[in-house]
Amino acid sequence: MASPAQDPGPVLDKDGVRLTVDDAIATVTLAVPAKRNAQSPAMWRALAEAGRLLPGSVRVVVLRGDGRSFSAGLDRQMFAPEGIEGEPSLLDLANSSDPELDASIAAFQEGFTWWRRSDLVSIAAVHGHAVGAGFQLALACDLRVVADDVQFAMRETSLGLVPDLTGTYPLVNLVGYARALEICATGRFVLAEEAVSTGLANLAVPADQLDAAVQDLAAALLAAPRDALIETKALLQGAADRTYDAQRTAERAAQARRLRDLAGLGD
Protein backbone atom coordinates (compact mmCIF):
# COMPACT_ATOMS: atom_id res chain seq x y z
CA MET A 1 0.00 0.00 0.00
CA ALA A 2 1.30 3.43 -0.93
CA SER A 3 2.07 5.65 2.02
CA PRO A 4 0.03 8.87 2.31
CA ALA A 5 1.59 12.01 0.92
CA GLN A 6 3.59 13.90 3.48
CA ASP A 7 2.66 17.47 4.36
CA PRO A 8 5.66 19.47 3.13
CA GLY A 9 5.18 22.00 5.91
CA PRO A 10 5.45 25.76 5.59
CA VAL A 11 7.53 27.32 2.85
CA LEU A 12 8.45 30.07 5.31
CA ASP A 13 8.01 30.32 9.07
CA LYS A 14 9.98 33.17 10.64
CA ASP A 15 9.57 36.48 12.45
CA GLY A 16 5.84 36.06 12.90
CA VAL A 17 5.08 35.14 9.27
CA ARG A 18 4.10 31.68 8.07
CA LEU A 19 3.67 30.86 4.37
CA THR A 20 2.02 27.62 3.27
CA VAL A 21 1.17 26.55 -0.27
CA ASP A 22 -1.55 24.16 -1.40
CA ASP A 23 -1.34 23.95 -5.19
CA ALA A 24 -2.79 27.22 -6.55
CA ILE A 25 -3.59 28.75 -3.16
CA ALA A 26 -1.00 30.19 -0.80
CA THR A 27 -1.78 31.28 2.75
CA VAL A 28 0.24 33.90 4.59
CA THR A 29 -0.47 33.87 8.31
CA LEU A 30 0.53 36.50 10.83
CA ALA A 31 1.56 34.21 13.65
CA VAL A 32 2.23 36.21 16.82
CA PRO A 33 -1.13 35.72 18.54
CA ALA A 34 0.18 36.54 22.01
CA LYS A 35 0.89 40.09 20.79
CA ARG A 36 -2.24 40.28 18.59
CA ASN A 37 0.10 40.00 15.60
CA ALA A 38 1.80 43.31 16.30
CA GLN A 39 4.15 44.23 13.49
CA SER A 40 7.87 44.95 13.43
CA PRO A 41 10.52 45.56 10.75
CA ALA A 42 11.46 41.87 11.00
CA MET A 43 7.86 40.91 10.20
CA TRP A 44 7.84 43.30 7.24
CA ARG A 45 11.02 41.72 5.89
CA ALA A 46 9.47 38.29 6.28
CA LEU A 47 6.33 39.44 4.44
CA ALA A 48 8.50 40.66 1.57
CA GLU A 49 10.33 37.31 1.56
CA ALA A 50 7.02 35.46 1.42
CA GLY A 51 6.17 37.29 -1.78
CA ARG A 52 9.51 36.33 -3.32
CA LEU A 53 9.06 32.66 -2.35
CA LEU A 54 5.65 32.16 -3.98
CA PRO A 55 5.77 29.32 -6.52
CA GLY A 56 4.62 30.10 -10.04
CA SER A 57 1.63 27.78 -9.57
CA VAL A 58 0.02 30.13 -7.05
CA ARG A 59 -2.98 32.09 -8.30
CA VAL A 60 -4.64 33.17 -5.04
CA VAL A 61 -2.98 34.33 -1.81
CA VAL A 62 -4.95 34.44 1.43
CA LEU A 63 -3.70 36.67 4.24
CA ARG A 64 -4.93 35.91 7.75
CA GLY A 65 -4.01 36.41 11.38
CA ASP A 66 -3.74 33.85 14.18
CA GLY A 67 -5.54 34.43 17.44
CA ARG A 68 -8.05 37.08 18.47
CA SER A 69 -7.04 39.77 15.98
CA PHE A 70 -5.80 40.15 12.44
CA SER A 71 -3.14 42.65 13.55
CA ALA A 72 -3.15 45.28 16.29
CA GLY A 73 -0.65 47.40 14.38
CA LEU A 74 2.87 48.48 15.14
CA ASP A 75 4.70 46.77 17.99
CA ARG A 76 4.63 49.45 20.69
CA GLN A 77 8.18 48.50 21.70
CA MET A 78 9.28 50.51 18.65
CA PHE A 79 8.10 53.64 20.47
CA ALA A 80 10.30 52.96 23.48
CA PRO A 81 13.66 54.78 23.58
CA GLU A 82 15.54 51.50 23.21
CA GLY A 83 13.23 50.22 20.45
CA ILE A 84 13.24 46.55 19.45
CA GLU A 85 16.53 44.73 19.88
CA GLY A 86 18.41 44.56 16.59
CA GLU A 87 16.15 47.13 14.91
CA PRO A 88 16.46 50.91 14.59
CA SER A 89 14.25 52.78 17.05
CA LEU A 90 12.04 55.61 15.87
CA LEU A 91 14.62 57.99 17.33
CA ASP A 92 17.37 56.27 15.34
CA LEU A 93 15.30 56.67 12.18
CA ALA A 94 14.64 60.33 12.92
CA ASN A 95 18.38 60.95 13.37
CA SER A 96 19.37 59.31 10.10
CA SER A 97 20.10 61.27 6.94
CA ASP A 98 17.33 62.02 4.44
CA PRO A 99 18.50 59.32 1.98
CA GLU A 100 18.91 56.78 4.79
CA LEU A 101 15.48 57.52 6.23
CA ASP A 102 13.84 57.31 2.82
CA ALA A 103 15.58 54.01 2.12
CA SER A 104 14.50 52.59 5.49
CA ILE A 105 10.83 53.42 4.92
CA ALA A 106 11.02 52.09 1.34
CA ALA A 107 12.38 48.80 2.71
CA PHE A 108 9.54 48.63 5.25
CA GLN A 109 7.02 49.12 2.44
CA GLU A 110 8.30 46.14 0.45
CA GLY A 111 6.27 43.74 2.57
CA PHE A 112 3.13 45.59 1.50
CA THR A 113 3.70 46.06 -2.24
CA TRP A 114 3.56 42.62 -3.83
CA TRP A 115 -0.02 41.71 -2.90
CA ARG A 116 -1.46 43.43 -5.99
CA ARG A 117 0.77 41.66 -8.51
CA SER A 118 -1.03 41.11 -11.79
CA ASP A 119 -0.42 37.34 -11.78
CA LEU A 120 -2.36 36.65 -8.57
CA VAL A 121 -5.34 37.80 -6.54
CA SER A 122 -4.89 38.43 -2.82
CA ILE A 123 -7.63 38.15 -0.20
CA ALA A 124 -7.31 39.52 3.33
CA ALA A 125 -9.39 37.53 5.83
CA VAL A 126 -9.78 40.09 8.59
CA HIS A 127 -11.17 39.56 12.08
CA GLY A 128 -10.90 41.47 15.33
CA HIS A 129 -8.55 44.44 15.35
CA ALA A 130 -6.89 45.64 12.15
CA VAL A 131 -5.22 48.80 13.40
CA GLY A 132 -2.60 51.04 11.83
CA ALA A 133 -0.10 48.82 10.07
CA GLY A 134 -2.67 46.01 10.32
CA PHE A 135 -5.24 48.15 8.51
CA GLN A 136 -2.66 49.04 5.86
CA LEU A 137 -1.73 45.38 5.35
CA ALA A 138 -5.38 44.51 4.76
CA LEU A 139 -5.59 47.43 2.32
CA ALA A 140 -2.55 46.08 0.46
CA CYS A 141 -4.64 43.11 -0.73
CA ASP A 142 -6.97 43.09 -3.71
CA LEU A 143 -10.00 41.93 -1.74
CA ARG A 144 -11.11 41.94 1.89
CA VAL A 145 -13.52 39.53 3.55
CA VAL A 146 -14.23 40.54 7.15
CA ALA A 147 -15.72 38.94 10.22
CA ASP A 148 -18.59 40.71 11.92
CA ASP A 149 -16.27 41.57 14.83
CA VAL A 150 -13.76 43.47 12.69
CA GLN A 151 -12.46 46.84 13.90
CA PHE A 152 -10.43 48.82 11.39
CA ALA A 153 -8.63 51.95 12.57
CA MET A 154 -5.86 54.16 11.21
CA ARG A 155 -4.13 55.44 14.34
CA GLU A 156 -0.91 56.85 12.87
CA THR A 157 -2.14 60.45 12.76
CA SER A 158 -3.20 60.24 16.40
CA LEU A 159 0.40 59.27 17.23
CA GLY A 160 1.84 62.23 15.34
CA LEU A 161 2.77 60.11 12.32
CA VAL A 162 1.22 59.38 8.93
CA PRO A 163 0.20 56.07 7.32
CA ASP A 164 3.34 55.23 5.32
CA LEU A 165 2.99 51.51 4.58
CA THR A 166 1.19 52.02 1.24
CA GLY A 167 -2.27 52.35 2.82
CA THR A 168 -3.30 55.84 1.73
CA TYR A 169 -3.61 55.07 -1.99
CA PRO A 170 -6.02 52.13 -1.73
CA LEU A 171 -7.95 53.77 1.11
CA VAL A 172 -8.76 56.85 -0.98
CA ASN A 173 -9.58 54.69 -4.00
CA LEU A 174 -11.96 52.55 -1.95
CA VAL A 175 -13.83 55.08 0.17
CA GLY A 176 -13.06 58.48 -1.38
CA TYR A 177 -10.94 61.39 -0.18
CA ALA A 178 -13.32 62.90 2.37
CA ARG A 179 -14.07 59.67 4.22
CA ALA A 180 -10.41 58.58 4.04
CA LEU A 181 -9.35 61.88 5.61
CA GLU A 182 -11.94 61.56 8.35
CA ILE A 183 -10.93 57.94 9.12
CA CYS A 184 -7.22 58.84 9.31
CA ALA A 185 -7.61 62.14 11.14
CA THR A 186 -9.92 60.83 13.85
CA GLY A 187 -8.44 57.35 14.25
CA ARG A 188 -11.94 56.02 14.89
CA PHE A 189 -13.00 52.42 14.41
CA VAL A 190 -14.68 51.30 11.20
CA LEU A 191 -16.87 48.28 11.88
CA ALA A 192 -18.07 45.54 9.55
CA GLU A 193 -21.32 47.10 8.34
CA GLU A 194 -19.66 50.40 7.41
CA ALA A 195 -16.69 48.60 5.85
CA VAL A 196 -19.01 46.80 3.43
CA SER A 197 -21.28 49.78 2.72
CA THR A 198 -18.33 52.05 1.85
CA GLY A 199 -16.52 49.48 -0.30
CA LEU A 200 -13.70 48.95 2.18
CA ALA A 201 -14.69 45.27 2.47
CA ASN A 202 -16.22 43.00 -0.15
CA LEU A 203 -18.15 40.86 2.29
CA ALA A 204 -18.85 40.53 6.01
CA VAL A 205 -19.73 37.21 7.63
CA PRO A 206 -20.06 35.82 11.16
CA ALA A 207 -16.62 35.22 12.64
CA ASP A 208 -17.04 31.45 12.64
CA GLN A 209 -17.76 31.51 8.91
CA LEU A 210 -14.78 33.65 7.86
CA ASP A 211 -12.49 30.85 6.73
CA ALA A 212 -15.27 29.12 4.77
CA ALA A 213 -16.26 32.37 3.04
CA VAL A 214 -12.66 33.02 2.01
CA GLN A 215 -12.32 29.45 0.71
CA ASP A 216 -15.48 29.89 -1.38
CA LEU A 217 -14.18 33.15 -2.83
CA ALA A 218 -10.80 31.60 -3.63
CA ALA A 219 -12.52 28.70 -5.40
CA ALA A 220 -14.60 31.13 -7.47
CA LEU A 221 -11.48 33.02 -8.49
CA LEU A 222 -9.74 29.81 -9.51
CA ALA A 223 -12.68 28.87 -11.74
CA ALA A 224 -11.73 31.60 -14.23
CA PRO A 225 -8.91 30.88 -16.72
CA ARG A 226 -5.69 32.32 -15.33
CA ASP A 227 -4.69 34.43 -18.34
CA ALA A 228 -8.16 35.96 -18.63
CA LEU A 229 -8.10 36.93 -14.97
CA ILE A 230 -4.63 38.45 -15.33
CA GLU A 231 -5.74 40.56 -18.28
CA THR A 232 -8.94 41.62 -16.51
CA LYS A 233 -7.08 42.60 -13.35
CA ALA A 234 -4.60 44.69 -15.35
CA LEU A 235 -7.46 46.46 -17.15
CA LEU A 236 -9.19 47.32 -13.89
CA GLN A 237 -5.99 48.40 -12.14
CA GLY A 238 -5.14 50.82 -14.91
CA ALA A 239 -8.63 52.21 -15.47
CA ALA A 240 -8.38 55.06 -12.97
CA ASP A 241 -5.28 56.46 -14.67
CA ARG A 242 -6.68 56.27 -18.23
CA THR A 243 -9.16 58.37 -20.10
CA TYR A 244 -12.33 56.72 -21.32
CA ASP A 245 -10.94 56.42 -24.84
CA ALA A 246 -7.61 55.10 -23.56
CA GLN A 247 -9.43 52.46 -21.55
CA ARG A 248 -11.42 51.44 -24.62
CA THR A 249 -8.13 51.04 -26.49
CA ALA A 250 -6.68 48.96 -23.64
CA GLU A 251 -9.78 46.73 -23.68
CA ARG A 252 -9.43 46.12 -27.42
CA ALA A 253 -5.75 45.23 -27.10
CA ALA A 254 -6.39 42.87 -24.20
CA GLN A 255 -9.24 41.17 -26.01
CA ALA A 256 -7.16 40.75 -29.14
CA ARG A 257 -4.52 38.98 -27.08
CA ARG A 258 -7.12 36.70 -25.51
CA LEU A 259 -8.76 35.82 -28.84
CA ARG A 260 -5.44 34.99 -30.44
CA ASP A 261 -4.38 32.95 -27.46
CA LEU A 262 -7.64 30.97 -27.44
CA ALA A 263 -7.22 30.34 -31.15
CA GLY A 264 -3.69 29.07 -30.59
CA LEU A 265 -2.16 32.06 -32.37
CA GLY A 266 -0.54 33.72 -29.37
CA ASP A 267 3.20 34.26 -28.96
Beta strands across the sheet bearing 25-30: 12-14, 17-22, 25-30, 60-65, 121-126, 143-147, 203-205
What span, in angstroms and rounded, lies between the C-alpha atoms of 213 and 245? Answer: 37
pLDDT at position 91 is: 87
Where does 12-223 sit in CATH, by number?
3.90.226.10
pLDDT at position 250 is: 97
pLDDT at position 1 is: 46
What span, in angstroms and rounded, lies between the C-alpha atoms of 215 and 221? Answer: 10
pLDDT at position 17 is: 98
Domain ranges of the chain: 12-223, 227-262
pLDDT at position 183 is: 98
pTM of the model: 0.94
pLDDT at position 5 is: 55
pLDDT at position 161 is: 94
The pLDDT tens digits of the residues spanning 163-218 come to: 999 999 999 999 999 999 999 999 999 999 999 999 999 999 999 999 999 999 99
Chunked in runs of 10, what are the mean pLDDT values of the chain (267 residues)? 63 97 98 97 97 97 98 90 87 93 97 96 98 98 98 95 97 97 98 98 98 98 96 96 97 96 87
pLDDT at position 6 is: 61
Q: DSSP letters of 40-52?
A: -HHHHHHHHHHHH
